[in-house]
């Protein structure tokens, strides 16, 4: 009997499909990788199982970082299995090739990416077969298109399967997006790396359609911060006395009108109704009104505020970053664990904040589960709110929540019917956020009374106005679910009453001197918002419309994009702020200077989205789109290859520290820091001192080069790369080259300290502060070259002690305060950036003193005990013992 193979995107969806089909097709037998009934075999991928690659004849192995082999534009793409998913891929290929399987049903997520996942699996299965035929080995292909996962919706979907021909435009758009990203990423990265490595060394410079515009957003914000000119202004606050008490008001100009055309950051944009721009004028107003009487007008309006919508992934990441400081990557990991491991949340990688219209019964059941379940700890209070929602019938049809038009590949993140057990503290925080939002969204709106009070004080022939705002919560509505948390975030202030016609007295006036502020740096929360709303930065209306629902990246990829920028040292975290590095500014300068700044703008994504949407509607061919991408790729490579000027134009720095050779002015250009002589003019009058900005592929930050010029040494610093591309850590120093009669920069790997050790002379540590007592001999430990050593270790071939520990261990810099902690307590704090020599992966560990081995070693975090597994093992052992006794 012929069967249909159903391929879902995730195992959980495969199980939902089996549950929905069992009543109509009978029992399914469970196998390791699939379920099987009379008419269906149901299995799944685990996301992408294969990735595209250039065919072997086009894949450059050696010299890929030179212009000689660029651009790489293969006529077609081959497929490569993703290592971690090979087992699942082989199992699917085996099922696809079964002779009794005559139909393939694509049940991957309803969208472009789901279409691509299935198509690539089918292509790989066909390519790995001796006889390659169309349509996945000559089998009929159908499409299951689901926007709701209720059993009834799944059964309806099987009744209305779409044909392969109907899905061809979407499949073409999916392939085009994937291949275009590959072409731009591979060629852009290799071209910019080749350009930056022209003068020797290896300076990896990654470029991507989403990564580079995201970086541009951060760099442009930093440029505004750096260029901000601080301006002094003054605010005037007065305290007014009435019979019922006192209240405060802020002076404002009622005739002020904001200039909407003013550029962000300009002096005009900083003008506001409540700002006074001279101390004398502000003081004059304060002196004029103090002790005077005024009159009050008041307007009170009721105001309603609905609960925020359900979470999509980006909103969840944004709020978790703001509330708990979780990175986007951490939040995604927690949400994924709550989905996969605990089965407590629905699929998290979604950009939808609504639910399907047929989900009302599912929501009612879920709300009932939360109401009835004995939730752990702080979640217990939520059960009462859920009970009220059930008893008062809050869950009902509501377009804010249930709307098929607002559901994309997936619906909003909500709790499942599975109550979680034994969550970690971080998992519990995220689950609490989702459950609160799920309950609150069905509650009535919060009701406020908002009061605006204007106090007018006539003085010296003028009438000065002061504004006071009050907001009083009348009915908490959904805010009851959030309790204190909501009221703390609200601007709730009850004003003392003023009787009709009552005169008020200006009792006290304060003039506050303030300064304008530059725009705030991006945090992960605000950068995620900027990526999501990147379409707003586009002027072209068609392209803006194409990006309305898209933004830069997808909810599933935005965390990885930010982590990629951190890994490549384009940005770094300082607290919750994301700050661009010198390498980031250098890339933006390069792309602008080469005239390929379209790689830095979200318009590129907008243009692609517009054309891919046209392709999905059958108005644009796959061939025409890919020809445009190939032409763009060739142009980017050609611009970099043909650039023939000495430097890239840009906004470069003049260093504060003078030239170490002649005391002249040192200036930055694209590649180097160069002495321009005493006058600082660019007429070639410098003494010849010059040093690269990117030693061994690492860009200098300005404060670092200032320190190197001043102290003639700096480090240890990480982030350097060898010619083979391997990362390493080292110190840098300036040394005198007597032959050239100038200074040059060199790497210092501790040879000087080694020479001191071999010389047999005692090292003078008198100018240093001891870091602590040596654990071996009780002597004092100091910094020496690239190590921390005991004072009794150096200066003699018959040294009394051999204690030594590196300043950098497996690329992790060990700061002096950590070494002190090790000497005092036996171990350091948990250090997070060790890099394994074998796997090249980062790992966390403590450094600890191993007295038995007589050296510093690693100590790892203890793993949480796996009680259930042990219990299971114990019960199995007991069962075996009982069986033996019975025998």
Question: Taking the chain (887 residues) in consecutive chunks of 10 residues, what is each chunk's mean pLDDT?
Answer: 92 93 94 94 94 85 83 92 92 93 93 92 82 59 88 92 94 95 94 88 89 94 90 96 94 92 80 95 95 93 94 94 92 91 89 92 94 75 91 94 88 91 91 95 94 92 93 90 65 79 93 94 92 74 65 86 92 90 94 92 87 91 95 95 87 93 92 89 82 88 93 84 73 90 84 51 78 90 84 67 85 88 92 76 88 88 58 46 46
Q: Which amino acids are annotated catalytic?
A: 347
Q: Which residues pair with 245 in a beta bridge?
A: 242
Cα separation, 553 vs 605, whole angstroms: 9
Query: Smallest Cα–Cα separation from 30: which of 20, 18, 39, 21?
Result: 18
Cα separation, 730 vs 818, whole angstroms: 19
> 3-state secondary structure string, 160-222?
CCEEHHHHHHHHHHHHHHHHHHHHHHHHHHHHHHHHHCCCCCCCCCCCCCCHHHHHHHHHHHH
Cα separation, 338 vs 333, whole angstroms: 9
What tokens does 187 get?
């060629």
φ, ψ of residue 490 in degrees (nearest 5): -75, 160
What tokens does 82 get?
């993703």
The residue behind tokens 């047999």 is 760
Q: Residue ranges of the alpha helices (H) in 509-666?
A: 524-532, 541-546, 558-567, 582-593, 603-616, 622-642
What tokens does 216 get?
């541009």
Provide the whole-model pTM: 0.79
pLDDT value, residue 543: 66
Contact assessment for residue 552 and residue 605, using Cβ atoms and an 8 Å cutoff = yes
Strand order in the sheet with 666-668: 666-668, 672-675, 690-692
Cα separation, 183 vs 194, whole angstroms: 16
Instruction: Report which DSSP code applies to 491.
Output: -
The residue behind tokens 């951490």 is 330
Contact assessment for residue 735 and residue 716, using Cβ atoms and an 8 Å cutoff = no
Cα separation, 158 vs 163, whole angstroms: 12
What tokens does 3 get?
């069967």
Rounded to whole angstroms, what are the CA distances from 106 to 121, 164, 328, 802?
10, 10, 31, 66
CA-based end-to-end distance of the chain: 46
pLDDT value, residue 376: 64
Residues 6+ apart with CB under 8 A from 427: 334, 337, 338, 342, 420
The residue behind tokens 């069905």 is 442
Query: Smallest Cα–Cα separation from 75: which of 55, 52, 51, 50?
Result: 55
Contact assessment for residue 13 and residue 144, using Cβ atoms and an 8 Å cutoff = no
> 3-state secondary structure string, 462-482?
EEEEEEEEEEEEEECCCHHHH
Cα separation, 702 vs 35, whole angstroms: 61
Burial 611-635 (b: 16+ CB within 10 A, else e): bbebbbeeebebeebbeebbebbee
Q: Which residues pair with 728 in a beta bridge?
A: 720
Q: How far is CA 887 from the centre of its chain?
A: 61
Rounded to whole angstroms, what are the CA distances from 205 to 342, 587, 697?
40, 7, 9
What tokens does 220 get?
């442009």
Long-range contacts of 595-599 (CB under 8 A, 24+ apart): 595/639, 596/635, 596/636, 596/639, 596/640, 599/184, 599/188, 599/207, 599/209, 599/212, 599/213, 599/636
Query: Smallest Cα–Cα separation from 824: which of 764, 861, 788, 774?
Result: 774
Cα separation, 690 vs 744, whole angstroms: 8
Cis-peptide into 52, omega within 30 deg: no
Q: Which residues pair with 720 in a beta bridge?
A: 728
What tokens does 145 get?
């298109």
Q: How many CB atoms lie within 10 A of CB 593?
A: 17
DSSP string, 235-291: EEEEEEEETTEEEEEEEE-TT----TTPPTTSTGGG--TT-BS-HHHHHHHHHHHTT
Cα separation, 571 vs 527, whole angstroms: 12
pLDDT value, residue 645: 82
How many helices (H) does the chain have, and how many strands (E)?
25, 32
Query: Smallest Cα–Cα separation from 678: which of 691, 666, 665, 661?
Result: 665
Rounded to whole angstroms, what are the CA distances from 845 to 314, 810, 862?
31, 11, 10
- Determine the angle formed by the axes of helices 582-593 and 211-227, rounding to 10 degrees: 110
Q: How far is CA 580 from the centre of its chain?
A: 14
Contact assessment for residue 76 and residue 55, using Cβ atoms and an 8 Å cutoff = yes
pLDDT value, residue 710: 93
Contact assessment for residue 431 and residue 379, using Cβ atoms and an 8 Å cutoff = yes
Nearest 5°: the CA angle 107, 108, 113 is: 150
Length of the chain: 887
Query: Smallest Cα–Cα separation from 112: which of 554, 458, 740, 753?
Result: 554
What tokens does 121 get?
């699996």
Residues 6+ apart with CB under 8 A from 170: 112, 115, 616
Cα separation, 325 vs 44, whole angstroms: 35
Strands 101-107, 140-143: pairing kind:
parallel
Nearest 5°: the CA angle 592, 594, 600 is: 40
Cα separation, 177 vs 161, whole angstroms: 25
pLDDT value, residue 884: 46
Query: Smallest Cα–Cα separation from 784: which of 761, 754, 814?
Result: 754
Q: How many CB atoms lie within 10 A of CB 640?
A: 24
Residue 97 CA neighbour count, 13 Å, CB half: 17
Cα separation, 213 vs 206, whole angstroms: 12
What tokens does 261 get?
């055309």
């Amino acid at each position: 009997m012929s069967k249909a193979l159903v391929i879902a995107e995730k195992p959980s969806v495969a199980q939902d499909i089996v549950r929905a089909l069992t009543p109509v097709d009978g029992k399914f037998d469970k196998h390791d990788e699939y379920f099987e009934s009379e008419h269906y075999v149901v299995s799944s991928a685990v996301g992408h199982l294969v990735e595209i690659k250039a065919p072997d004849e086009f894949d450059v192995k050696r010299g890929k970082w030179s212009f000689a082999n660029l651009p790489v534009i293969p006529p077609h793409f081959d497929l490569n299995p993703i290592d971690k998913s090979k087992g699942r891929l082989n199992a699917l290929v085996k099922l696809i090739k079964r002779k009794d399987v005559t139909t393939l049903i694509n049940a991957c997520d309803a969208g472009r990416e789901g279409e691509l996942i299935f198509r690539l699996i089918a292509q790989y299965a066909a390519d790995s077969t001796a006889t390659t035929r169309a349509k996945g080995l000559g089998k009929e292909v159908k499409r299951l298109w689901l926007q709701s996962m209720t059993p009834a919706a799944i059964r309806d979907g099987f009744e209305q399967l779409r044909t392969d021909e109907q899905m061809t435009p979407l499949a073409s758009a999916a392939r085009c997006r994937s291949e275009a990203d590959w072409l731009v990423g591979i060629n852009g990265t290799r071209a910019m790396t080749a350009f930056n490595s022209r003068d020797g060394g290896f300076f990896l410079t990654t470029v991507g359609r989403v990564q580079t515009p995201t970086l541009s957003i951060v760099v442009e914000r930093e440029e505004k911060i750096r260029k901000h000119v601080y301006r002094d202004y003054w605010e005037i606050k007065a305290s007014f006395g009435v019979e019922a008490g006192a209240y405060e008001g802020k002076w404002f100009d009622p005739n002020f009108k904001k200039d909407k055309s003013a550029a962000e950051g300009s002096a005009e944009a900083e003008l506001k109704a409540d700002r006074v721009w001279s101390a004398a004028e502000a003081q004059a107003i304060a002196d004029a009104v103090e002790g005077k009487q005024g009159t009050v007008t008041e307007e009170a309006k009721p105001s309603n505020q609905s609960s925020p919508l359900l979470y999509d992934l980006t909103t969840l990441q944004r709020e978790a970053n703001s509330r708990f400081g979780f990175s986007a990557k951490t939040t995604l990991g927690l949400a994924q664990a709550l989905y996969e491991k605990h089965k407590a949340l629905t699929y998290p990688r979604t950009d939808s904040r609504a639910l399907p219209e047929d989900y009302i019964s599912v929501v009612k059941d879920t709300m009932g589960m939360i109401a009835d379940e004995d939730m752990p700890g702080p979640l217990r209070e939520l059960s009462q709110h859920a009970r009220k929602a059930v008893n008062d019938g809050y869950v009902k049809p509501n377009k804010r929540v249930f709307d098929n038009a607002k559901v994309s590949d997936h619906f909003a993140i909500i709790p499942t019917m599975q109550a979680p057990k034994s969550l970690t503290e971080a998992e519990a925080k995220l689950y609490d956020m989702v459950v609160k939002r799920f309950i609150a969204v069905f509650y009535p709106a919060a009701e406020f009374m908002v009061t605006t009070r204007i106090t007018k004080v006539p003085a010296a022939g003028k009438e000065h106005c002061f504004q006071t705002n009050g907001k009083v919560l009348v009915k908490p509505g959904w805010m009851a679910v959030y309790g204190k948390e909501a009221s703390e975030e609200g601007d709730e202030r009850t004003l003392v009453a003023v009787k009709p016609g009552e005169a008020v007295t200006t009792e006290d006036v304060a003039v506050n001197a303030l300064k304008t502020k530059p725009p705030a740096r991006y945090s992960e929360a605000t950068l995620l918002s900027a990526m999501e709303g990147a379409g707003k930065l586009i002027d072209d209306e068609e392209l803006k419309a194409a990006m309305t629902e898209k933004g830069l990246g997808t909810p599933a990829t935005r965390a990885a994009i930010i982590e990629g920028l951190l890994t490549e040292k384009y940005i770094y975290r300082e607290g919750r702020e994301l700050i661009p590095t010198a390498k980031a500014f250098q890339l933006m300068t390069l792309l602008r200077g080469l005239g390929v700044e379209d790689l830095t703008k979200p318009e590129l994504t907008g243009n692609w989205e517009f054309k891919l949407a046209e392709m999905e509607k059958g108005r644009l061919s796959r061939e025409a789109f890919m020809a445009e991408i190939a032409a763009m790729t060739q142009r980017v490579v050609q611009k970099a290859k043909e650039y023939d000027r000495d430097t890239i134009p840009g906004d470069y720095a003049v260093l504060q520290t003078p030239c170490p050779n002649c005391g002249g002015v040192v200036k930055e250009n694209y590649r180097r820091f160069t002495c321009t002589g005493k006058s600082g003019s660019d007429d070639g009058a410098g003494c010849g001192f010059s040093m690269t900005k990117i030693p061994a592929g690492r860009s200098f930050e300005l404060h670092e080069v200032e320190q190197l010029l001043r102290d003639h040494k700096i480090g240890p610093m990480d982030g350097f790369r060898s010619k083979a591309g391997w990362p390493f850590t080292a110190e840098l120093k300036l040394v005198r080259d007597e032959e050239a009669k100038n200074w040059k920069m060199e790497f210092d790997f501790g040879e000087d300290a080694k020479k001191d050790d071999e010389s047999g002379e005692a090292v003078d540590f008198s100018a240093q502060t001891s870091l602590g007592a040596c654990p071996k001999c009780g002597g004092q430990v100091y910094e020496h070259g690239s190590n921390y050593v005991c004072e009794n270790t150096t200066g003699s071939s018959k040294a009394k002690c051999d204690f030594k520990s590196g300043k950098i261990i497996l690329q992790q810099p060990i700061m002096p305060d950590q070494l002190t902690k090790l000497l005092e307590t036996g171990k350091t704090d948990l250090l997070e950036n060790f890099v394994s020599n074998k796997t090249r992966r980062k790992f966390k560990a403590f450094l600890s003193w191993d007295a038995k081995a007589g050296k510093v070693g690693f100590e790892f975090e203890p793993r949480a005990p796996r009680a259930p597994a042990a219990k299971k093992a114990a019960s199995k052992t007991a069962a075996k013992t009982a069986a033996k006794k019975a025998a």
